[in-house]
Each structure stands twice: as C-alpha cells, then as structure tokens.
Amino acid sequence: MKDINECRDRLHGIFNITVTPFDAQGEIDFAALRENIERAISLGYDGILIGGTYGEFPVMSLAERRELFREVMDCVQDRIPVMLCSASSDPREARELTALAGDLGGLPMVTAPYVSEITDGQILAYFQEIAPLSRTGILVYNAPGIGITLSPSLLEQLAEVPGVVGIKQGDLNPTAIDRIANRLRGKLRLFCASDLAFLGPMMAGFDGISSTNSCALPELVIATYRAVEKGDASTARDLHQLWYDYRALARQHGQPQLVKAAMALRGFNGGTVRAPLKPVSADAVAALTRVMQQLASDARSGVTLAK
C-alpha cells in the first residue's frame, strides 16, 4: 500500500493473524512462515496480521522484528494488505517500527503504551505523535490483554487524530461494541480483535475481524466469516457452533499455544512457542486431538488431519 488513502480503501474483511513459527532452537522459521502466509492467501483471506500479541512480539528483539517485517512484505508483494504490529513498551522502538512498517507498505498496528497509571490525555498525545510517522496511517489496537482498556470516549477522540485509519477492538463488552459501531462506523475502519466471539461485532456493523485460530482452522473460520458478510446469519451461526469445543480449549490453554498444537495435527508448520510460553501439555493435546477428529468428521468444517 502506497499511502493512507489506499490503506483505507483496502482495509476490510477477514485478516489471518499469522503465528510466528519458532524452531527447536528458538529461531524464527521463515520458510514455515511463508508457507502459512501462502495458505492464507490461497484460501482467499483479505489480509494478514504479523507480529501481534499472538505473534509473540513481546519476546522478540527489535532486530528480529525488523527482519520479520521485511521478510513478510517481500513474501506478500502487495497481493493483500498486511498489518504489522509495531507496538512496544519502549516508545522509541514503537516509533522506529511504525515508520518502517509504513515505509514497507504495511499498516502499523499500535497499542497504547503499557505503563502503569498512564492517563487518557497521555495516551491521546502518544497516538498524536505516532500517527504521522507512517505514510499508510496507523491502526489503534485496543488490547485489554496488555492491562489497558481504551474507553469508547477515548476511542472517539483517537478517531479524530489525523493518520488513524482504524481501530482493532479487543474489548468485546456489548455496550462498548454498540457505542463504537454507532458512533465511529464510517469514520474509520472497525475490526473485531477476537474470532472467538465475532458474530456480534460484525452484525453491529464492524468492517472486519482478525483471526488467530484461522491458522489452524482456515477453511472453517473463513466460511463462517463469508456467511456473515453475505447476511446469512443462520449459516454463520451453525458454522461458528461447529468449533465451540475447540474455542473452549483455546480459552483454557491459551493462544497461540493451542493454535500451534492444532496446526501440527493438520500437518501445518506453526513451530513452537517461545518462553515464557510453553507448549500445551500431553493431556491438552489429547483433548485437542479428540476435538479435531470430531471436526474432521463433519464435511462442513473443511478440516482434514495429517496422516
């Protein structure tokens, strides 16, 4: 994407949150990463998100993240839009990665600084400083998982910041979703940050979702999303219900740990997680295997398991 206008035009639909595959030595496996990106593109995903919270960016060095951005953009070659997470606890790193992501033609995704007792005014000032650094604009990630939840009123202020092209909303409180959808729809792009419960935000008028579990269940997740997109609520409901047991395991054991274990059952190379995360236990893998076998037995899921 060459500028903010093109970014706004292309920023919609279902984005695969591509996991970062680490090999047994803890290094990024770029060959596996390219395989997973190509799978998402071939199945018709509208975009990908790289190096986010489920991409394990907090455990990567600045040099690794620079290399990750460059490798991914070289692979994609502008075939689909790419969100590149440039968040950091160090604003100096966030500024550098945000500028790099925009220069490479990606859309930087930025969280609020995760600093204790930061005020709304300081968060607003931070985004006002960061947004102009990227020629493609920025995506504000409201990520409660880092310990800061941006209120709807603050998000409305951020929507007025030049260069903010969208919000990825991780606070799925129905009241917050209702206010954001009705106050900000059309002003900027609205993305639901969780595929575990995306039907509500999409029906409220969000522009898209980002999905980590689509690394393991790419056919099923995109089919569910396309049904919502077409207004076929009953099909979307039925397809979403198919993988409830999987979602329960994901909530219990965490993402990306369970996602990578499920990818392995399918013969996809998701690699392993990096410390402090640990691979899921043998008992969890056994439970996951039963769930995946059940999904594979239903033709609607599109799931097949490795031989």
Catalytic residues: 141, 168
Provide the total of helices (H) and of strands (E) in the chain, helices listed first.
Answer: 13, 8
Query: Residues for the chain: how many in total?
Result: 307
Cα separations in angstroms, 119 against 125, 135, 146, 154: 10, 27, 15, 11
> Which helix (DSSP H) or strand (DSSP E) does residue 188 occupy?
none
Contact predicate 49/19, CB 8 Å:
no
E strands in the chain: 13-18, 47-50, 82-85, 107-111, 138-142, 164-169, 189-192, 208-211
Strand-pairing partners, residue 111, are 141
Distance CA 218, CA 48 (A): 12
Q: Which two tokens stand for residue 100?
A: 């790099």
